[in-house]
Amino acid sequence: MNEDAFWALIDELSRRTGNLDERTEWLRAELLRRPAAESVEFQVRLDDACEVAGTRALWRAANRIESGACTDDGFHYFTLWLVGQGRKVYDSVVADPDALADVAGVRALVGRHRDEWDDDEWPEWEGLDYVAQDAYDELTGQEDDCGEEFDDAVDERAEELADELSDPEEWEEGDEPRGSRPEGVAIPRLVALFPLGASGS
């Protein structure tokens, strides 16, 4: 599964109807129709896309939308959600986090307290991070090894693709995500849509 094939699958996922669980299950079924190696490749591509999106600028935008409630884990789930919106949305938001103001799922939250958001409305998609492992474990019969074989396979494949994939600087747990964008990157449309205190306590 090369990068284009990964994004073709993600784009199809982004067009699916239903809630996040239903869409995740569709993706799982798609991966189950393929060799186990494709699940490994999918996870490598997914991890890389999330790393590329893990910039300080995008964290600031996500935190604004969530009114200061975007935790370390929450930001990772946010980058997963962003990937799940499809390649066009992902590329535009990575290039300019203020482009989140154009995303339908974000606009649907405007003017509403975050306590009123349904689970599926939160711009986070934790389950997307587990679907490839679930498919791999079922395909290989390794469902009792706590994902160790899958993790090893992903690490090995990521090393093989190191020259092809980007390699952003890692950041320590608890640190604000690092990125190359300037500290003062502007998100004027998000600031207008999500004034301080409007969606949180």
Q: What percent of the chain has pLDDT over 90?
A: 72
Q: Could you tell me if 5 and 13 are in contact, meaning their C-beta atoms sit under 8 angstroms apart? A: no
**pLDDT of amino acid 3:** 93
- 62-85 pLDDT, tens digit each: 999 998 889 999 999 999 999 999
Position of tokens 């591509």? 45
- How confident is the prediction for the chain on average, in pLDDT? 87
pLDDT bin (cut points 50, 70, 90) of residue 21 is: very high
What is the rounded distance in angstroms from the CA atom of residue 113 to the CA atom of residue 110? 8
**pLDDT of amino acid 14:** 96
Instruction: State the number of CA atoms in the 13 A half-sphere of 108 facing the CB.
Output: 10
- Residue 161, phi then psi, degrees to nearest 5: -95, 10
pLDDT bin (cut points 50, 70, 90) of residue 163 is: low
At residue 171, does pLDDT exceed 70?
Answer: no
Nearest CA among 73, 42, 61, 49 for reference residue 168? 49
pTM of the predicted model as reported, rounded to 2 decimal places? 0.86
**pLDDT of amino acid 13:** 97
- 93-149 pLDDT, tens digit each: 999 999 999 999 999 999 998 889 998 899 999 999 999 999 999 999 877 767 788
**pLDDT of amino acid 180:** 40
Chain-centroid distance of CA 190 in Å reads 19
